[in-house]
């Protein structure tokens, strides 16, 4: 049976997030705060064949919204190899690669229930990147290591 070609129309203005880990396109929507109440057109393509990386990927297109730097940083945890294209009048005007910063501030919770960040104290979680592949973090407060599966489970 011949493979069908996926066709998704171009967007006039907005952001295209490409090279998302297969199966995490919906998590990208969650990170970006795109819910059922969203009024901007969104396209999600999941498990798309990618000859460039020789494995499936997800793609998210959000019309009439340009991603901000803090949103790009959030995406780094679940899509560390993603590229983001900013589109204006059907043309790519900016292309960004997602990079994990050295520290992650207030994006995920510590998995240690006794950590000060999980109490009523006014303390925000901060993590240091220990490994980028696979992603592994260390809580700056309780020093608990957080493996990739636990990180991805929060999205």
**CATH at residue 65:** 3.30.70.140
Residues of the chain with pLDDT under 70: 1-7
One domain for residues 32 and 73 = yes
The domain total for the chain is: 2
One domain for residues 33 and 70 = yes
How high is the pLDDT of residue 85?
A: 94
pTM, two decimals, is 0.78
How high is the pLDDT of residue 6?
A: 59
Spell out where the chain has E strands: 14-21, 42-48, 57-63, 83-88, 91-97, 103-105, 126-132, 135-139, 145-147
Q: Is residue 39 part of a domain?
A: yes
How high is the pLDDT of residue 3?
A: 58
The domain of 21 spans 14-97
CB distance 78 to 85 below 8 Å: no
Q: Is the dihedral of CA 25, 60, 3, 7 positive or negative?
A: positive
CA end-to-end distance (rounded Å), the chain = 36
pLDDT in tens, 91-116: 999 998 888 888 888 888 999 999 99
How high is the pLDDT of residue 95?
A: 92
One domain for residues 123 and 148 = yes
One domain for residues 18 and 71 = yes
One domain for residues 69 and 137 = no
Q: Is residue 114 part of a domain?
A: yes
How high is the pLDDT of residue 2?
A: 55
Q: Which two tokens stand for residue 67?
A: 């991603």
One domain for residues 89 and 111 = no
Measure Cα distances from 20 to 65, 99, 124, 140, 144 in Å. 18, 13, 27, 28, 27
Q: Is residue 138 part of a domain?
A: yes
Please tell me the distance from the alpha carbon of residue 133 to that of residue 152, in angstroms, as a whole number. 13
């Amino acid at each position: 049976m011949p493979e069908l070609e996926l066709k998704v129309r171009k967007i006039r203005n907005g952001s295209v997030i490409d090279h998302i880990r297969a199966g995490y396109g919906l998590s990208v929507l969650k990170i970006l705060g795109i819910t059922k109440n969203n009024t901007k057109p969104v396209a999600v393509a999941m498990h798309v064949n990618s000859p460039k990386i020789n494995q499936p990927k997800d793609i998210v297109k959000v019309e009439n919204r340009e991603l901000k730097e803090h949103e790009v940083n959030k995406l780094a945890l679940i899509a560390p190899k993603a590229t983001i294209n900013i589109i204006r009048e059907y043309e790519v005007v900016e292309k960004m690669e997602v990079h994990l910063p050295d520290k992650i501030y207030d994006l995920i919770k510590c998995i240690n229930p006794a950590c000060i960040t999980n109490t009523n104290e006014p303390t925000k979680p901060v993590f240091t990147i220990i490994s980028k592949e696979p992603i592994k973090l260390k809580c700056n407060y309780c020093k608990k290591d957080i493996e990739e599966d636990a990180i991805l489970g929060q999205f």
